[in-house]
A and B are shown apart, each in its own frame.
Chain A
Amino acid sequence: AQTVTQSQPEMSVQEAETVTLSCTYDTSENNYYLFWYKQPPSRQMILVIRQEAYKQQNATENRFSVNFQKAAKSFSLKISDSQLGDTAMYFCAFMNFIIQGAQKLVFGQGTRLTINP
């Protein structure tokens, strides 16, 4: 079974700083997907970024980028120019690749990120 580990329960940075959240995972599969989801105080679960394991290029979405190291099974999220609205719980998640059908997400424990003014 796959496992996802986020070793930083909490992090805090000043507004406009850059912050990196860590995530490691364990799998014997070669094809899979990795995600970062953001859960603000409203508790809504918002997709931040998605990475396909077969792609060597790291995914980016505006101020959000990942450092995907497949051999090391590491998937960190970098938030540049952090904003107050980035304050949230961040979950790293793993999903196996299948051609069709349902394949559940396996979540890490989450990192609570606080952006200070």
Chain B
Amino acid sequence: AAGVIQSPRHLIKEKRETATLKCYPIPRHDTVYWYQQGPGQDPQFLISFYEKMQSDKGSIPDRFSAQQFSDYHSELNMSSLELGDSALYFCASEDGTGSLTGNTIYFGEGSWLTVV
């Protein structure tokens, strides 16, 4: 079965640079979530989208922005990168239409961001 696809899987950026992470949800999933996981921590919710509209925001810095496009893929843009942004970034998707397959969130393999 198709899973959530994230790219790139690894990237290294310097401080103050910009990075963009991409996420392709499971086909027919209309809901996308972004999570950040630091070393030894549980995943922290950043932002979510349902039907291409922002649904909820968590602890996402103002330097970060995200959107969901017409084909339901999503991009997380991170600017003015700081050393503390180094983390594993997960995208996850869900069927948010209220169907029987809904209310279960599936994660991608994550994108490792290292800021040096």
A interface with B by C-beta (< 8 Å): 33, 35, 37, 42-47, 50, 52, 91, 95, 97, 99-110
Q: What are the residues of chain A within 8 A of B45 when measuring CB–CB?
A: 104-106
List of 10 A-B pairs having minimum Cβ-Cβ separation, nearest first: A102-B55, A45-B107, A102-B48, A107-B42, A102-B50, A101-B50, A100-B98, A104-B45, A102-B31, A99-B98
Q: Is the CB of B106 within 8 A of A97?
A: no
Q: What interface size band does chain B fall in?
A: 20 to 34
Produce 1/0 per residue, B40-59, CB < 8 A to A: 00110100111000011010
Contacts of B37 in A (CB 8 A): 43
Distance in angstroms between the alpha carbons of A46 and B105 in the assembled complex: 10
* Contact for A102 among B33, B90, B98, CB less than 8 A: B33
CB of A102 within 8 A of CB of B43, answer no
Q: Which residues of B contact A33 (CB under 8 A)?
A: 103-104
What is the CB-to-nearest-CB distance from B106 to chain A, in angstroms, rounded to a whole number?
6
Residues of A within 8 A of B110 (CB): 43-45
Whether the Cβ atoms of B42 and A109 lie closer than 8 Å is yes
A97 to B31, CA, bound (A): 15
